[in-house]
Amino acid sequence: MICIRCGWCCKNMMAVVPDNPRWGPMEENLIVTPGDGQRCKHLRGDIPGEYSCFIHNREYYHEIPCHEFGQIENDPNSVCRIGMGVFQQLGKDVNGYLQEHGFEIVVNEIGFPITEDSKGFDGASV
């Protein structure tokens, strides 16, 4: 799944995260994000599509619940459906975002990659 950094999960999902990023996920350094619309303390930025996570690139990131978030599809090239919804509500262009950020894919209106295999005989995506 491709996260398009809309910020929804970092505000609306309850997760256990390190309080002090330098110490990592030690038992005495864990807090629970409320998941009630308040932003996680590690979320940086103010604009959907431009958010970043302070601990996302830490060596222990794979050990915290945020890393496990995903969706039903196992395709690593499908765009997060929550992010798609946020972008659509804001009138943001998801494919423009992907292009701007170096992704070499184009997705349909629900976030699935459009490939030659997914096109019908008339060239339209199915």
**Is residue 115 in a domain?**
no
Host domain of residue 95: 8-100
In a domain, residue 34? The reply is: yes
Give the count of domains, the chain: 1
Q: 67 in a domain, yes or no? A: yes
Q: What is the 3-state secondary structure (H, E, C) of 54-77?
A: CCCCCCCHHHCHHHHCCCCCCCCC
Residues whose CB falls within 8 Å of the CB of residue 2, separated by 6 or more in sequence, listed in order? 76, 77, 78, 79, 80, 98, 103
Tell me the mean pLDDT in the region 34-62: 92
Does the pLDDT of residue 124 top 70, yes or no? Answer: no
Is 45 contained in some domain?
yes
User: What pLDDT does residue 77 have?
Assistant: 82
Q: 105 in a domain, yes or no? A: no
Predicted confidence (pLDDT) per residue in 53-82, tens digit:
999 889 999 898 888 887 777 778 888 889
- Please give the Cα distance from 63 to 93 (Å, whole number): 32
More confident residue, 20 or 115: 20
Higher-scoring residue by pLDDT: 11, 115: 11
Predicted model pTM: 0.77
- Whether residue 121 is contained in a domain is answered as no
Domain contains 37:
yes
